[in-house]
Amino acid sequence: HTPQNTRFMRPFLVSHARLSVVLALVSLLLVSCMGNMASDESKVDGKLKPGQYKHTIGPMFEKVLKKSEAKTSDKRETAIFAAGCFWGVELAFQRLPGVVKTRVGYIGGKVDNPTYQQVCTGTTGHAEAVEVVFDPTVVSYAELLDVFWERHDPTTLNRQGNDRGTQYRSGIFTTNEAQAKLAEESRTAYNNNLISAVVTEITPATKFYPAEDYHQAYLQKGGQSADKGNMDKIRCYG
């Protein structure tokens, strides 16, 4: 026996159930669309937006971070990169398997032994840079270039975010002809995949002047991990 009030409620209950199903389907479609939109936000007409990974762990950076140091050698090469404030750039390279040593400093200027204060005036011509000593049997120069491109915006002239001035320019300072060739090829390939033109300079390395001691491993001293393979977000602060 079915009570009369329940019998009258049946059409409403069925309609309400159907409405719930419809709303659930609409919700799933919206989530799916938003997910697709989010995944596409990194691209415009199939090309990447520059600098999208400079505050996080991008796919190329992650790939190199996951490399193994099980087999190493005594071989050493040196690479020099300028990509804005050198604190965060150094920590990114410190974390890479195969990187033996890093130090921050100044390069590409016209004044001998410049100080940080002098470089900050923009009158010495130097760029803030990171010198990277690495084992090429573990990590290649080409892989270092991948990390370099991904960790900054190479399309903004003399600027990274709020940091402005020639000292924050994007640059690759090569130590031999092989590096120069790879750097040129890498810049062309990366430029072809971006919505904006790359302004990174590629030039033979001149004298590298180490920065003051308090700048060395600055973020590591501040408590951020420099462990190999660490994927924590790099926070740059002053």
What span, in angstroms and rounded, lies between the C-alpha atoms of 8 and 176? 87
What span, in angstroms and rounded, lies between the C-alpha atoms of 66 and 72? 15
CA 228, chain centre distance (Å) = 16
Strands, sheet with 170-174, edge to edge from the N-terminal-most edge strand: 201-204, 170-174, 77-83, 127-134, 99-107, 209-210
**Is 85 considered catalytic here?**
yes
From residue 7, alpha-carbon distances to 12, 15, 16 in Å are: 10, 14, 15
Vertex 44, ends 39 and 48: CA angle to 5°?
75
Active-site residue, selected from the candidate residues 33, 85, 120, 236: 85
- The catalytic residue positions are 85
